[in-house]
Chains A and B, each alone.
Chain A
Amino acid sequence: DAGVIQSPRHEVTEMGQEVTLRCKPISGHNSLFWYRQTMMRGLELLIYFNNNVPIDDSGMPEDRFSAKMPNASFSTLKIQPSEPRDSAVYFCASSFRGRDSPLHFGNGTRLTVT
């Protein structure tokens, strides 16, 4: 099992540009989560999907952020336009919905907005 795959690993962009982060969850998992990690705020849940349907997007900071999951094997997190305060490590995680089903994280995308 390759685990949760995220791309790119690093992204450097200028303020105002569109950024798209990608995630391939573990095959068979039916829940997918996007987290953001910063020194100041720790790990924050942005949005999560169950069976490709967004369940809770209350953590999405503002309308500049959007996430999609067109099928069970792919999800994107888009920031448009990006701002320097969006600089963080973004993690995707997946699980099989149910008690004691662990969350499996990818290795993250480190985003730097200059």
Chain B
Amino acid sequence: QQQVKQSPQSLIVQKGGISIINCAYENTAFDYFPWYQQFPGKGPALLIAIRPDVSEKKEGRFTISFNKSAKQFSLHIMDSQPGDSATYFCAASVLFGNEKLTFGTGTRLTIIP
């Protein structure tokens, strides 16, 4: 049973545009929602994370928006750059943060000039 649903599967955005990736979860006990970025041949790396006590978190060009009632959260990449081209995974976990992270299926983002 997939507990974190991610969309779209792939996304093409023009340089300078806004990239938006969405995730929905089922388990209301989840209390930690990170996003990971993965480049080819590398392991995923933490990009940004949010807790359910806030509705938005921003770090540079990256913003997480969180809607607890809808059980949804999304990643926004402003002013998207070719270097942002990667696969992005949302994730969720319970209890002590990143223990037993459940990952979404990933979104392959391509930024075109």
Contacts and interface: CB of A to CB of B under 8 A. Distances in A.
Contacts of B102: 45
B99 interface: yes
A103 B106 CA distance: 17
A105 B45 contact: yes
A102 B32 contact: no
Interface residues of A, number: 25
A102 B36 CA distance: 10
Interface string B63-107: 000000000000000000000000001000000111111111110
A42 B44 contact: no
Interface of B: 32, 34, 36, 41-46, 49, 89, 96-106
19 contacts: A31-B99, A42-B103, A42-B104, A42-B105, A43-B44, A43-B89, A43-B103, A48-B99, A93-B43, A98-B96, A98-B97, A99-B32, A102-B49, A103-B34, A103-B44, A103-B46, A103-B98, A103-B101, A107-B43
